[in-house]
Amino acid sequence: MNKNILIFALAAAGALGVFFSSDLARVNRTDALARIKASTAQEDLYFTAHQTRLMSSDLRPLIADWYWISSLQYMGNKILTSEGRININDLRSLDPRLLYPMLETAQTLDPQFMAIYSYGAAVLPAIDTELAIKLLEKGIEANPTDWRLFRFLGQVLWQSKNYERAATAYEQGAVKPGAPPFMRQMATKMRVDQAASNEVAKETYRQMIESGAASDDDQSRQFAVLRYKQIESLEMRERLDAALTAFRRHHGRCANRWREIHSFLEKLPPAPAGAAPPVFGSEGEPIDPTGVPFVLITGRCVAGLSDSSPIPKE
């Protein structure tokens, strides 16, 4: 009897192996992947979003985790193997064509997996805004009462300068259970300020940082922190540039050292409310929000980011 049990255990394991290996070997034929070149065949997905519908509901969340981890590694590898500077506003040069199919498959497997949406909202707009919107709309369809998805959608629409739709998304999210008051405030700001101000941008990224911390979504939080610091550095540089201009107007030349413009900074008109003021190091040099000193570009007489600063230059 034991021999029979062993034989059938092996047969069952073999049958399972055949079942999974045949699916694993299946090349994805969906429209989204139809354009994949032969050179990237090793990056094909094992399962399409459509195929995953038939998977056991007990294992779907685990397989969704696997696709989520794969999507992080996929983008990480693209960035590590890329040549030249990375522009976080436009990642198309990395050719990350499988990112959306991976996230879409993970979303289909587990529509309640919120990190997929926050990651998609943070990274996909730099590849294809429409794909980011599509992912979030699928998420809203599956979780119509979750206000966070409306906030992600509003954020993506705001980034694509679609302020009216962004305001609508914030408004729709504001009436969902548990939605915080800032959802309605953001809708108003989108309509009144046309979302062009740094204040709106900082508020959007501040919400991303806070929600990332709340959900332990490190990727999205780090992305938002970087963008927030980028805006702060822009505000600091506006003040420094204004002081440099005042110095040149007064002395007829550009300043050679940062200490020379300190008195001119104090005489400048007040900065807009909420704008980050320049911060100075021990030797009087202005430092950016990451703690790296700004560089004085004497040729153009402006303040610039150091090459060693992690803040995006574009």
Site residues, other proteins (CB under 8 A): 1, 4-5, 7-9, 11-12, 53-54, 56-62, 64-65, 68-69, 72-73, 110, 112-115, 119, 215-219, 221
Identify the sign of the CA torsion 36, 41, 46, 51.
Answer: positive
Cα(206)–Cα(30) distance, integer angstroms: 37
Measured from the CB atom, the residue of 61 and 180 that comes closer to other proteins is: 61
Measured from the CB atom, the residue of 104 and 288 that comes closer to other proteins is: 104
Helices and strands (DSSP H and E) totals, the chain: 11, 4
Measured from the CB atom, the residue of 2 and 81 that comes closer to other proteins is: 2
Whether the CB-CB separation of 208 and 196 falls below 8 Å is answered with no
Cα(304)–Cα(314) distance, integer angstroms: 12
Most distant CA pair in the chain: distance in Å?
Answer: 100
Measured from the CB atom, the residue of 90 and 218 that comes closer to other proteins is: 218
Nearest to 122 by CA among 226, 276, 229, 235: 226
Q: How far is the CB of 2 from other proteins (least distance, A)?
A: 9
Q: How far is the CB of 110 from other proteins (least distance, A)?
A: 5
Residue with tokens 């056991």: 56
- Would you call 188 helix, strand, or coil by DSSP? helix
Measured from the CB atom, the residue of 67 and 247 that comes closer to other proteins is: 67
Residue with tokens 């938002």: 224
How many CA atoms lie less than 13 Å away from 105 in the CB half-sphere?
29
Tokens at 4, concatenated: 């029979």
Measured from the CB atom, the residue of 170 and 223 that comes closer to other proteins is: 223
Residue with tokens 């070997």: 25
At CB < 8 A and 24+ separation, what contacts does 306-312 make?
309/233, 310/226, 311/226, 311/229, 311/230, 311/233, 312/87, 312/88, 312/89, 312/226, 312/227, 312/230
Measured from the CB atom, the residue of 11 and 297 that comes closer to other proteins is: 11
Measured from the CB atom, the residue of 73 and 188 that comes closer to other proteins is: 73
